[in-house]
Amino acid sequence: QSALTQPASVSGSPGQSITISCTGTSSDVGGYNYVSWYQHHPGKAPKLMIYDVSKRPSGVSNRFSGSKSGNTASLTISGLQAEDEADYYCTSYTSSSTPRVFGGGTKLTVL
Amino acid sequence: QVQLVESGGGVVQPGTSLRLSCAASGFTFSSYGMHWVRQAPGKGLEWVAVIWYDETNTYYADSVKGRFTISRDNSKNTLYLQMNSLRAADTAVYYCAREGFGGELLYWGQGTLVTVSS
């Protein structure tokens, strides 16, 4: 099962908005509304930011939003803050024998 | 509150075995699917395995299939990962994670480091 495709890095200035894409296939991202996004600061536990494509868990800032079009899901962070600097991973349910697949990760730099 | 605490990591030689544990508290352990996810040094997150809440089904990443076994003891609120025939490529921080209601990985432990080296 191939990993979902994410850009290796994105950057933005404080207050700006950025979008991270996550491209899969009709067997994963395109076939199910089960895309999740995780924030990972090095040395810490990953944190769920978005699930079911666009839902936010309790306690996650509404600056984080998710969407999907076809085989590509997206995470948008608005009003960038320094603490948003982290690695971000998407994951999706898949119809293959391995029911979860992660994206390769995107390093977000807040300039 | 929900707590997941991994243990059992360490330095082992290639070809040997290791068993990781994940002690869960703060929720009804037997009601949720549980996963293992790993991160090799300098690499991204890699999903490893899942076990359903009632142990009826398990699934594995191709990279560990046939070598790793995920299991759970609902009476002890503990998740396990038995890792056999370890390779250098298995060197990673291993996280256990609890599903939310939709299969998302809602809660994560802090991870335990496994180093496979001669």
Mean pLDDT of B6-28: 97
Strands A64-69 and A72-77: antiparallel
Indicate which of A34, A50, A102 best probes the interface with B, i.e. most B CBs within 10 Å of its own CB. Answer: A102
Per-residue confidence (pLDDT) for residue B102, from 0 to 100: 79
Interface of A with B in 39-58 (CB under 8 A): 40, 44-48, 51-52, 57
Mean pLDDT by groups of 10 residues along chain A of 111 residues? 88 97 94 96 94 95 97 97 97 87 95 92
Closest residue to B109, CB basis, from A36, A38, A45 = A45
Strands B45-51 and B34-39: antiparallel
Closest residue to A34, CB basis, from B103, B108, B110 = B103
B-chain residues near A40 (CB < 8 A): 45
Q: Which two tokens stand for residue B53?
A: 């809440």
Q: Tell me, what amino acid is at B67?
A: R
| Interval B43-82: pLDDT, tens | 999 999 999 999 999 999 999 999 999 999 999 999 999 9
> What whole-number distance in Å separates Cα of residue B100 and Cα of residue B85?
32
Number of alpha carbons in the 13 Å side-chain half-sphere of residue A40? 28
Closest residue to B47, CB basis, from A44, A51, A101 = A101
SS (H, E, C) chain B: CCEEEEECCEEECCCCCEEEEEEEECCCHHHCCEEEEEECCCCCEEEEEEECCCCCCEEECCCCCCCEEEEEECCCCEEEEEECCCCHHHCEEEEEEEECCCCCEEEECCCEEEEECC
| Interval B72-113: pLDDT, tens | 999 999 999 999 999 999 999 999 999 998 789 999 999 999
> What whole-number distance in Å separates Cα of residue A25 and Cα of residue B112?
32
Closest residue to A45, CB basis, from B44, B61, B111 = B111
- Give the residue, B24 or A43, on which the prediction is more confident: B24
CB B117 within 8 A of CB B88: yes
> What is the C-alpha R_g of chain A?
13
Closest by alpha carbon to A71, among A58, A53, A59, A89? Answer: A53
> What whole-number distance in Å separates Cα of residue A3 and Cα of residue A14?
30
Q: What is the DSSP string of A58-90?
A: TT--TTEEEEEETTEEEEEE-S--GGG-EEEEE
Per-residue confidence (pLDDT) for residue A1, from 0 to 100: 56
Q: Say if the Cβ atoms of A38 and B105 lie within 8 Å.
A: yes
Tokens 């320094």 -> residue: A82
Q: Say if the Cβ atoms of A97 and B102 lie within 8 Å.
A: no
Per-residue confidence (pLDDT) for residue A96, from 0 to 100: 80
